[in-house]
Structure formats: C-alpha cells, structure tokens
Amino acid sequence: MGTDTITAISTPAGEGAIAIVRLSGPEAIAMTTELYKGANLLEVESHTINYGKIVDPITTEIADEVMVSVMRAPRTFTREDVVEINCHGGMVAVNRVLEIILSKGARMAEPGEFTKRAFLNGRIDLSQAEAVMDLIRAKTDKAMSMAVKQMDGRLSGLIRRLRQELLETVAHVEVNIDYPEYDDVEEMSHEVMRTKSKEVHKEIEALLEVANQGKILREGLATAIIGRPNVGKSSLMNTLVQENKAIVTEVPGTTRDIIEEYVNVRGVPLRLVDTAGIRDTEDIVEKIGVERSRQVLKESDLILFVLNYNDILTDEDVKLFEAVHGLEYIVIINKTDLEQNLDLSKVNVLAKGKPIVTTSLIEEEGIVELESAIAKTFFSGDIESSDLTYVSNVRHIQLLKQAKSALEDAMEGIELGMPLDMVQIDVTRTWEILGEIIGDTASDGLINQLFSQFCLGK
C-alpha cells in the first residue's frame, strides 16, 4: 500500500452537475474529517455516502455543500481507504475543494496513480489495469464490452492458466531428471514437453488469430474517403457521421484539408478521414491538400473509393485504382439517382474482385449495403464478442508473438533431440514473456510508463 495519501479531480474539466475529488491512502478519511462539517467520518459505516459541507480551515468559510463517500480498505478499488467528495460541478468549486485537501497534506496524484496502486496492491493485474483505460476510450459498444471482459479478468485468467501449465511441465521434467527411476525417463520427459508445448502454442495461435479484430475494436480503422473532386466524398462522410461536418457544394476542390471523425459502423469504430479530391491541380492550397491526401492513403487500414455514376471513367480514376492497388478498399459508385455515364464493366475489371457498392447519398440509398460491406471486409460480416477472448492491446499482441516464437524454438529443439535442459530455456522464456502481459514479470520502468499514459484522477 502507498505510504502517503493522494488526491485528484476524477471528473472531466468543465461545467456539470457534480464534480468528484478522490482521495486514497492511509490518511484519506482522517484528512477529510478535519475539513468536513457533518457526521464524524471516522465513525460512519464503510461504503456510505454522507451529506455535509467542506470548510476552509484557514478562513472557516464554507467552500461547498457536498456528499462524501467513505470506503474503507481493503474493499476499495485501490485496496486503501478511499474518499470521494461529490461537490458542485464547475472549475471554481472543485478546484477550491482540491486546494483545501492539498493544504492538509495530501499529495497530488500522478496520471493513473489510483489504478497503479490497485495493481501494486494486488487488486488487479496489469492487463486489467490497461483495460480500465480501454473502457474510458471505447468508441463503440463492442469495444466497451471487450474492455469490460478484460477488466473482469478473462484474458488474465487464460494467461495465468497457460503459465501454470508451462510451470508444471518444467517442474515435471525437472523431477524426472533429478530422480530417474526408469531407463526411458528421458524419452517420457521429451514427450511430456512436446505435448504441452503444442497445446499452449495452439492456444496462443488462437488468441493471435482474432488479435487483428480486437485491435480494430480497440483503436478503430483508419479509413480514408478518396475520389476525384465532386464525386460525393464529403456527402458520404456527412451521411456516416450524421452531421454536416464537411462542406458540400457543387464546386470541385471545395475540401482543401483533412477532416477527421469517429463513426460507429455495426460496432466497428472507423476513424474516418475526408480527404481533398486527388487530382492534378495548379491551385497551391489545393495542391497541399492533395499531397496530404496521398499520405493519408498510405496510412489507412480501409479506403472508401468514391466514383460518380453520372461521369465517364477518367484517367484520374484509373490512376486512383493504381494508387490503391494492394490496399484494402471498397468501391462506392455514388449518384445513382442521375443518368448513367459510368462504364460499370470497366469498373469491375479495375476493382479486381474488391467490393462494389452503389449509393445515392442524396436519396439515402445504399448506406446499409455499404455498412455491410465494411463489416464483411474485416469481420466476415459479424463480430463475435460474446465467447472469444479478444487481444486488442498492441503490447499484448507483440508479447504473444514473442511467446509463440519461443515455444516454436522449444518444439524445434525437441524434434532435433536437443537435451531437455536446453529446451527448458525456451519454455521458461515463454513463461516469463506471458508474465509480462499480466505484470508478474514486468519491469518497474514498463509499469511506470504504462500508467503515465492514464488520465489524471484514474
């Protein structure tokens, strides 16, 4: 447990109905009691909320009318005594309460320090702590559901089981080596090691197979909308966002800069970027926008390539097909409410099997089909979030890849007939790498770095 008492504002800055100042540490309740006019907080029941007033100890003026929650260790988030002061929302009131608490000796919490204390005190492991931040940053209900499951220990429970199986295997082999009772003990030990390594390897592979989906749910798909000027890119963005974020006019080249917005498409978060129309231009400002668009193209996970049903296929369109070759894209043929001048057979050839969706954004037609195409492109049409244990964190994915590689080294050594003590090095390394996911073998530097990315007050 921490030796000092920390405090911070735990609600977002700005005006609101309430704001919360949180304290955690051995003096949390005693400090608050000295500033609080109401029931004796040292004597109230744990996990109760109490009405009263916070009083400035210097001026004896009432700082704010509050509701104070008292939670005694160890049944708290940090496993320390925790107090949450619910005061009126607004920067003046909440900062006044915070300043008074700091004047009594509490220390300003570092970013993520409440969650860090929960980890250090054994309340949660490292993967669960990271899930707290994922929950706060979730952009869709699917992402939130995934974060809740990780907070609940689904991933850490699986990792602990795999580590325990590896540990028992190493111990079994060690016993057989140290106390051989049979002539074929070495062959038996090799077989045990081979079987268990294959089993754990298979489970790690299963986690990595859905890791891409988990990463998408957590971080969103970087999605660029491209096409020649005036094909309906900005209209598409406005339709998906359901707001008029982009300027829509009949004048080619209206979008001069990058417009970015998060949208939720069937549970898939898209980081949607409306780019300047990509074309040859002499306009200096528009030329800068076009160059930025080309850069966005290279960095995108998904490209929505918009064509105009009313226009003939131009050389610029063909060049765009060449630019997106090898990338993940969906062709959107817009303005189907107008007369057809586009050669659809040629579009089919150029698309080379990529999905093609027809829309009339002005008539709000084709949006359902587009959303379905996006979901199918990355999730085979649906997201299985109920039973699967998703790995979404880049750090976890990299560690699982390292663990998989270490196990493959062990399995190769077994097949080559290497001595068991050499094979055990790779198995033990796998055990240690998996431990980094949940924090059992993580360094202090890594832990400090991870929690520094949290928001203040969490």
What is the Cα–Cα distance from 430 to 49, expressed in whole angstroms?
A: 47
The SS3 call for residue 87 is: strand
Residue 10 in this model has a pLDDT that exceeds 80:
yes
Residue 190 in this model has a pLDDT that exceeds 60:
yes
Per domain, the residue ranges of the chain are: 6-109, 137-210+391-442, 227-379
Residue 244 in this model has a pLDDT that exceeds 70:
no
Percent of the chain clearing pLDDT 70 (strictly above):
84
Q: In degrees, to the nearest 5, what angle opens at C-alpha 119 toward C-alphas 113 and 122? A: 140
Given the structure tokens 């909308």, which residue do they identify? 225
Given CATH 3.40.50.300, say whether it is the number of domain 227-379. yes
Amino acid 247: pLDDT: 33
Residue 181 in this model has a pLDDT that exceeds 60:
no
Q: What is the domain class of 137-210+391-442 according to CATH?
A: mainly alpha
Measured between alpha carbons, how far is residue 28 from residues 4, 66, 85, 93, 183 in Å?
A: 9, 16, 11, 20, 64
* Pairing state between β 356-358 and 302-308: unpaired
Amino acid 300: pLDDT: 82
For residue 183, the 8-state DSSP code is: T
What is the Cα–Cα distance from 227 to 277, expressed in whole angstroms?
A: 6
The string of pLDDT tens digits covering residues 302-311 is 889 999 999 9
Lateral strand order in the sheet of 302-308: 259-265, 268-274, 221-226, 302-308, 329-334, 356-358
Give the model's confidence band at 31: pLDDT under 50 very low, under 70 low, under 90 confident, else very high: very high
Query: Are 19 and 89 in contact, with CB atoms under 8 Å apart?
Result: yes
What would the mean pLDDT of 116-136 be, rounded to a whole number?
A: 86
Which of 23-32, 121-130, 225-234, 428-437 shows the lowest per-residue confidence on average (mean pLDDT)? Answer: 225-234
Residue 133 in this model has a pLDDT that exceeds 50:
yes
The string of pLDDT tens digits covering residues 393-442 is 888 889 999 999 999 999 999 888 888 888 888 999 999 999 999 988 77
Which of 215-229, 273-287, 423-437 shows the lowest per-residue confidence on average (mean pLDDT)? Answer: 273-287
Residue in 355, 308, 292 with CA at minimum distance from that of residue 329: 355
Amino acid 414: pLDDT: 87
Amino acid 127: pLDDT: 87
DSSP lists the bridge partners of residue 264 as: 269
Residue 336 structure tokens: 């189907």
Amino acid 350: pLDDT: 93
Give the model's confidence band at 275: pLDDT under 50 very low, under 70 low, under 90 confident, else very high: low
The string of pLDDT tens digits covering residues 53-98 is 999 988 889 999 999 999 999 999 999 999 999 999 888 889 999 9
> What mean pLDDT value characterizes the chain?
82
Neighbours of 142 (CB within 10 A): 22
Give the model's confidence band at 254: pLDDT under 50 very low, under 70 low, under 90 confident, else very high: very low
To 10 degrees, what angle do helices 126-137 and 141-151 make? 160
Which of 42-51, 181-190, 223-232 shows the lowest per-residue confidence on average (mean pLDDT)? Answer: 181-190
Query: Are 252 and 230 in contact, with CB atoms under 8 Å apart?
Result: yes
Given CATH 3.30.70.600, say whether it is the number of domain 6-109. no
Amino acid 163: pLDDT: 93
